[in-house]
Amino acid sequence: MARKKIIAGNWKMNMTPSEAVALVNTLKPLVANDDVDVVFCVPAIDIIPVMEAAKGSNIQVGAENMYYEEKGAYTGEISPAMLTDVGVKYVVLGHSERRQYFAETNETVNKKVLKAFEHGITPIMCCGETLEQREQGVTMDFIRQQVKVGMLGVTADQAKTAVIAYEPIWAIGTGKTATTEQAQEVCKGIRECVAEIYDDATAAAIRIQYGGSVNAKTAADLFAQADIDGGLVGGAALKPDFGQIVNYK
Ligand code: 13P
């Protein structure tokens, strides 16, 4: 069965709740496309207003992070139950910005991935190399490690529903999109890695996104690649351009 594309916006630390509602109202008619899954991953405080503004549309709402404990003395964190209670279906985990600024590791990302599945939330698990790693020729080794540790203990049935986002760090927010060949090569490598961990059926089912300066011009070529099942979009998800990305065909 063909994999359904999943095109997600990662708003990062942008949009106050009132700005968020205005943006959803602008984007709602532009992102109407039932052929793809459209997900807005938004700051925690925006989740409820965005859900309300998106009611009746095809927009699904996701979180940008989540903690791996159930509840308790973890000041400032958001629990999985807090997300599911309001109907969140997706969560971005292990984004490179969280690894870089908030000391997330493959191990903590793995705990979060397991916890997300336990609560029926689909993880969008991020991976990606630095420019230095690419230049040293260790891109695939590094990403395989991120994927293997990130997915430890995840069952094949769970993995089939997961989303992995390949986001080369050097392409994030730089305006420098990876070439379609570079993006396809790594996404294919990730799928092969999933086949090694599990089996061919799991590799064929898991969805792999590309992220890093995706825009209205680059989306169509990227999403046409055999192993690229959509995108995780930062800057361009905050603009009407996101409508063109969602309707890339
Ligand atoms: P940009 O699209 O702004 O490069 O951000 C990509 C990203 O980090 C999405 O998670």
Domain count, the chain: 1
Top mutation candidate among 7, 10, 125, 176 for ligand 1, by most atoms within 8 Å of CB? 10
Residue 130 has pLDDT above 80, yes or no: yes
Q: How far is the CA of 172 from the centre of ligand 1 (A)?
A: 5
Structure confidence at residue 13 as a pLDDT band (50, 70, 90): very high
104 annotated active-site: no
Structure confidence at residue 169 as a pLDDT band (50, 70, 90): very high
Q: How far is the CA of 114 from the centre of ligand 1 (A)?
A: 24
pLDDT at 226: 98
Residue 76 has pLDDT above 90, yes or no: yes
Q: How far is the CA of 80 from the centre of ligand 1 (A)?
A: 24
Top mutation candidate among 11, 95, 167 for ligand 1, by most atoms within 8 Å of CB? 167
Q: Which atom of ligand 1 is nearest to the CA of 41?
A: 10
pLDDT tens for 192-229 read 999 999 999 999 999 999 999 999 999 999 999 999 99
The CATH code of the domain that includes 179 is: 3.20.20.70
- Name the catalytic one among 64, 97, 104, 167: 167
| % of the chain residues with pLDDT over 90 | 97
- Name the catalytic one among 95, 97, 104, 129: 95
| % of the chain residues with pLDDT over 70 | 100
Ligand 1 pocket by C-beta < 6 Å: which residues? Answer: 10, 95, 167, 172-173, 211-214, 232-236
Residue 1 has pLDDT above 70, yes or no: no
Mean pLDDT computed over 21-38 = 98
Residue 141 has pLDDT above 70, yes or no: yes
> What DSSP string runs through the chain?
-PPPPEEEEE--S---HHHHHHHHHHHTTTT--TTSEEEEEE-GGGHHHHHHHHTTSSEEEEES---SSSSSS-TT---HHHHHHTT--EEEES-HHHHHHS---HHHHHHHHHHHHHTTPEEEEEE---HHHHHHT-HHHHHHHHHHHHTTT--HHHHHH-EEEE--GGGTTSS-PPPHHHHHHHHHHHHHHHHHHS-HHHHHHSEEEEESS--TTTHHHHHTSTT--EEEESGGGGSTHHHHHHT--
Residue 119 has pLDDT above 80, yes or no: yes
Residue 93 has pLDDT above 90, yes or no: yes
Structure confidence at residue 176 as a pLDDT band (50, 70, 90): confident
pLDDT at 175: 86
Q: Which atom of ligand 1 is nearest to the CA of 237?
A: 2
77 annotated active-site: no
Range of the domain at 195: 5-246
Nearest CA to ligand 1 atom 5: 234
